[in-house]
Amino acid sequence: MRHVFIVNPVSGKADASGSLVPKIIQAAARQGVDYEILLTERPGHGVELAQQQAAAGEPVRLYACGGDGTLNEVLRGVYGCKNAQVACVPCGSGNDFVRNFGGSAPFLDLENLIQGEAVSMDLIETDQGLAAAICSAGLDAQVAYGIPKFRRIPLCGGSMAYKLSILQAVSGPLGHRLRICADDETITGDFLMLALCNGSTYGGGFMAAPQACMNDGLLELVLVRKISRLQIARLIGDYQKGLHMQGDQVAPAYRDIILARKVRSLRLDTLDGRPIVVTRDGECAPYSSLRAHVLPAAAQIVLPRSVLNTELPALRKDTILNR
């Protein structure tokens, strides 16, 4: 199998290629693998590079070296290619995808990652494109929309940039009138935000769906009704820690404002004439509607050797491909 490292040099706060490329060369040499290093040159280039590498038809493992956006690009590039596996080397600001599996450390241990194995995982397909972890709309997406201008401030990492953008977002109009069709259920009302989750975490560590499993063929839908700014301040801390949920149920303190469902598909329409910001793995834009559904076992994601030996709610182990 060929090992191809697709490096986004502008991911995070510094040029990732400067320190990462020598580590890739050393790790690949020690593991004795056939490897290649490619640098992205512009937004969307990761999609093109991944498509080109997968198109040859031979078994290939592509390492997305960057943030969640880089991983999203590589997954989009290989979607539908059974010969391609995708690994994540987290060099971005938020790195939310790897939080589902214990955090960045085992994924940054390149030899541990090279020795890892592929697991079949679900994706989210929307009418705006694919998502690996979460597609959300409303206040949380609006916050993500505002993050870039904060993210490169010195000492302002993913979590801090998220919090500063929250302060900006809650200063404006709150909530949307929405019609949401979740599988066969229709819900109409005034909502602050919606998260459709394949993974548990987004926004630099906010845990929308603590029990989300990334290979169970289902998505976790979390709906927050329109609430006051004072209630938002109370909710945010618990939402970040996942305390708004108790297992698969909403915690008693939040049952009047939060709805949670396990779904396979979703349709959202705005009814107030105002576009709502939608984000897919951190890529944001305003829309008047959203269509999304789960794609079961749509991607082959490589997990480090050490992660495969741990028990995590995000993973059913019976889908490991190479055992």
Q: Average of pLDDT values for 32-37?
A: 96
Question: Rounded distance, CA 96 to CA 109, Å?
Answer: 17
175 lies in the same domain as 225:
yes
Report DSSP state, residue 232: H
- Alpha-carbon distance of 251 to 149, in angstroms, equals 34
Residues 291, 231, single domain; the answer is: yes
Asked whether residue 294 carries a pLDDT value surpassing 90, the answer given is: yes
Note the pLDDT of residue 99.
Answer: 93
Query: How far is 320 from 305, CA to CA, in rounded Å?
Result: 12
Tokens of 179: 């019609």
Please indicate, yes or no, whether residues 222 and 200 belong to a single structural domain of this protein: yes
> Domain of 54: which CATH number?
3.40.50.10330
- What confidence tier does 310 reach under pLDDT thresholds 50, 70, 90? confident
**Model pTM score:** 0.90
* Number of domains forming the structure of the chain: 2
Is the pLDDT at 67 greater than 60? The verdict is yes
CATH number, position 194:
2.60.200.40
- Classified as helix, coil or strand, 22 is helix
User: Are 134 and 15 within one domain?
Assistant: no
Handedness of CA 292, 298, 300, 303 (dihedral sign): positive
Q: Are residues 138 and 113 in the same domain?
A: no
How buried is 128 (Cβ within 10 angstroms: 0-12 exposed, 13-18 middle, 19+ buried)? middle
Say if residues 165 and 146 touch (Cβ distance below 8 Å). yes
Q: In 3-state terms, the chain is what percent helix, strand and coil (to 5)?
A: 30, 35, 35
Beta bridge partners of 84: 60
Helix axes 68-78, 45-55, angle to 10 degrees: 40
Whether residues 69 and 19 fall in one domain: yes
**Whether residue 201 is found in the same domain as residue 59:** no
Token pair for residue 86?
């995708």
Q: How far apart are CA 283 and CA 280, in angstroms?
A: 5
Q: 309 and 191, same structural domain?
A: no
Residue among 158, 115, 138, 140 at smallest CA distance from 290:
138
144, 67 contact by CB (below 8 A): no
What sign for the dihedral angle of Cα 72, 74, 75, 77?
positive
Domain check: are 95 and 19 in the same one? yes
Residue type, 16: A
Domain that holds residue 149: 130-295
Is the same domain home to 55 and 179? Answer: no
Q: Which two tokens stand for residue 11?
A: 């991911």
> Which residues does 286 contact at the CB level (< 8 Å), separation at least 6?
145, 275, 276, 277, 278
Q: Within this chain, do residues 140 and 100 fall inside the same structural domain, yes or no?
A: no
pLDDT at 323: 44
What percentage of residues in the chain have a pLDDT greater than 70? 95
Residue 174: HSE in the Cβ half-sphere, 13 Å Cα cutoff: 16
pLDDT in tens, 246-284: 998 999 999 999 999 999 999 999 999 999 999 998 788
Q: Are residues 287 and 305 in the same domain?
A: no
What per-residue confidence (pLDDT) applies to 218? 96
